[in-house]
């Protein structure tokens, strides 16, 4: 359902109307605000994660092997938190305040960082940060859905993810800039990180409306309050989407492996290895809005599935005999395109298939499915990698993906016929 521009201050409303030519798609100011909140929060968290290995080894004089042990656990905890965040926000019908809790938890963790000295304290802070991230994602995406026109949901998520990833790119830049001026300026980075997190939380708290989808829907239909119903999370179209996301997730081995293949073949990639993800991120930022728009026009399910062709292209190019420089750049471009075509678009697709009262849980279910299957995929691919060698295993996954894409197209066929609209019933 679409909450029109009522969230905007009246003066801004008319100004926006004047600027907007008829027929041109725009996104609601709430989506932009949520995007800016995510951007500020990502500046905050990515500035810390970018320098964490340096800090732990350089300033604390410790090795960071133990982080590897923790990573698997984080993934699991984050997945559980995500479902919990979606569910609680649906049950309480308070998406804004559940999301607020997640953002606030991350900001509080930053305060902890100012006083943390040992490795254990820092891991605790990082864990709190992850928990907050898990908690806020689904209710925030539900808010984006509730404040967007059903027919431009893909664009809305595109705008949000673009802003979000700009933050993810600016965070490390900010941190490294501080270190360039002050080589031991970690404390300054923690303070800056806290500052951005606080501004983000305040923006969210003051400017984003708490859109209570269930209450509104009930009022509109003059019906008793609808109960949270797990059945709608596991409805037939939703099942198909979850299955599609799961199968494709199992063939998404993670860009780490693609980078490693590039590193092994190319001096260019080896030299810039620690920064390859920045290239992917840049492509994501550039392509998220155009691909979101495209998904509104041709169907979200279609863009989601065909987005995996970008992943396929990256796998193949990584092992293709061509110029190393070209292979590296093309890989990053295709990986970015893959994320741009799948990340926000899947959230839009899940939102479109969920009634308002289970929207948060529906979105969380789809995202968790992707997170878990990708984790399994990375582990399984590691096994292939060590037993068959990197090029061969890469080509095997590429082959499987080539088969899976048409199969998923058939599986999701009913979705293509559906209009891109949020079912408000």
Partner 1 sequence: MSNRLKWLMIVAVAVVALGATTIVGVFAWQQYQQRSLAPSSVETTAPSGWDSGDRIVFRNTAPGQGYGYVSSVALADPAGSRAITGTACDRVDAVAEEFSCLRTVRGIAPTYTGTLYSNDGTELQTWPLSGVPSRTRISADGSLIASTAFVTGHSYATVGFSTDTRIHRADTGEDYGNLEDWTLIIDGAPSTPVDRNYWGVTFVDDNTFYATAGLTTTGVTYLVVGDIAARTLTSVTGTVECPSLSPDGTKIAFKRVTSGSGPTVHWTPAIYDIASGTVELLPEERSIDDQIEWLDDDTILYGVPRSDTAGDSDVWSLRIDGSAEPEILIEHAWSPSVVRADAGAR
With respect to partner 1, which residue has the nearer C-beta, 252 or 352? 252
| 234: DSSP letter | T
* Contact (Cβ atoms closer than 8 angstroms) between residue 363 and residue 347: yes
- Nearest distance in Å: CB 179, partner 1: 6
- Nearest distance in Å: CB 138, partner 1: 16
| ∠ Cα 146 150 154 (to 5°) | 95
Unique residue bearing structure tokens 């920045």: 278
- Nearest distance in Å: CB 120, partner 1: 4
For residue 414, give every residue at least 6 positions away whose Cβ sits within 8 Å of its Cβ, in sequence order, or none. 237, 240
CB environment 205-218: b (16+ within 10 A), e (fewer): eebbbbbbbbebbb
* Contact (Cβ atoms closer than 8 angstroms) between residue 144 and residue 31: yes
- Nearest distance in Å: CB 132, partner 1: 14
The per-residue DSSP string of 322-350 comes to S-HHHHHHHHHHHHHHHHHHHHHHHHHHH
* Contact (Cβ atoms closer than 8 angstroms) between residue 1 and residue 146: yes
Closest by CA to 357, choosing from 246, 241, 235, 203, is: 235
With respect to partner 1, which residue has the nearer C-beta, 85 or 355? 85
With respect to partner 1, which residue has the nearer C-beta, 207 or 409? 207
- Nearest distance in Å: CB 383, partner 1: 5
- Residue 407's alpha-carbon distances to 244, 345, 380, in angstroms, are 9, 19, 21
With respect to partner 1, which residue has the nearer C-beta, 298 or 400? 400
With respect to partner 1, which residue has the nearer C-beta, 104 or 422? 104
Rounded to the nearest 10 degrees, how much is the dihedral formed by the CA atoms of 266, 268, 273, 277? -100
Q: For residue 338, give both structure tokens.
A: 């893959």
With respect to partner 1, which residue has the nearer C-beta, 384 or 411? 384
Q: For residue 379, give both structure tokens.
A: 């582990």
Handedness of CA 367, 101, 162, 378 (dihedral sign): negative
With respect to partner 1, which residue has the nearer C-beta, 45 or 352? 45
With respect to partner 1, which residue has the nearer C-beta, 207 or 298? 207
- Nearest distance in Å: CB 310, partner 1: 13
- Nearest distance in Å: CB 371, partner 1: 10
- Nearest distance in Å: CB 293, partner 1: 23
């Amino acid at each position: 359902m679409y909450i029109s521009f009522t969230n905007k201050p009246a003066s801004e409303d008319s100004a926006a109307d004047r600027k907007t030519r008829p027929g041109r798609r725009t996104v609601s100011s709430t989506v932009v605000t949520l995007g800016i909140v995510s951007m500020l929060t990502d500046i905050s968290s990515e500035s810390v994660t970018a320098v964490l290995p340096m800090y732990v080894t350089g300033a604390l004089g410790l090795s960071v092997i133990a982080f590897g042990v923790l990573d698997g656990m984080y993934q699991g905890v984050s997945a559980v938190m995500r479902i919990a965040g979606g569910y609680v926000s649906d049950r309480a019908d308070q998406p804004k305040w559940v999301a607020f809790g997640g953002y606030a938890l991350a900001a509080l963790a930053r305060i902890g960082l100012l006083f943390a000295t040992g490795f254990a304290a820092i891991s605790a802070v990082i864990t709190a940060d992850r928990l907050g991230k898990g908690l806020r994602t689904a209710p925030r995406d539900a808010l984006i859905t509730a404040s967007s026109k059903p027919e431009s949901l893909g664009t809305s998520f595109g705008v949000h993810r673009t802003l979000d990833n700009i933050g993810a790119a600016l965070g490390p830049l900010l941190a490294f800039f501080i270190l360039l001026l002050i080589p031991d300026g970690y404390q300054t980075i923690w303070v800056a990180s806290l500052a951005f997190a606080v501004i983000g939380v305040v923006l969210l708290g003051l400017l984003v409306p708490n859109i209570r989808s269930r209450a509104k829907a009930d009022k509109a239909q003059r019906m008793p309050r609808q109960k949270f119903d797990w059945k709608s999370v596991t409805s037939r179209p939703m099942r198909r989407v979850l299955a599609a996301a799961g199968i494709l997730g199992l063939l998404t081995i993670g860009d780490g492996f693609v980078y490693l293949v590039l590193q092994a073949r190319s001096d260019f990639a080896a030299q810039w290895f620690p920064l390859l993800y920045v290239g992917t991120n840049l492509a994501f930022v550039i392509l998220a809005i155009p691909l979101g728009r495209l998904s509104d026009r041709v169907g979200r399910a279609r863009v989601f599935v065909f987005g995996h062709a970008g992943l396929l292209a990256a796998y193949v190019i990584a092992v293709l005999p061509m110029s190393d420089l070209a292979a590296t750049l093309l890989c990053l471009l295709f990986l970015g395109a893959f994320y741009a075509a799948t990340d926000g678009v899947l959230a839009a697709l899940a939102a479109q298939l969920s009634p308002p009262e289970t929207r948060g849980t529906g979105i969380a279910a789809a995202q968790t499915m992707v997170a878990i299957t990708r984790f399994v995929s990375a582990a399984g691919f590691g096994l292939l990698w060590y037993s068959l060698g990197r090029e061969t295993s890469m080509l095997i996954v590429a082959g499987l993906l080539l088969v899976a894409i048409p199969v998923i197209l058939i599986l999701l066929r009913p979705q293509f016929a559906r209009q891109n609209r949020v079912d408000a019933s």
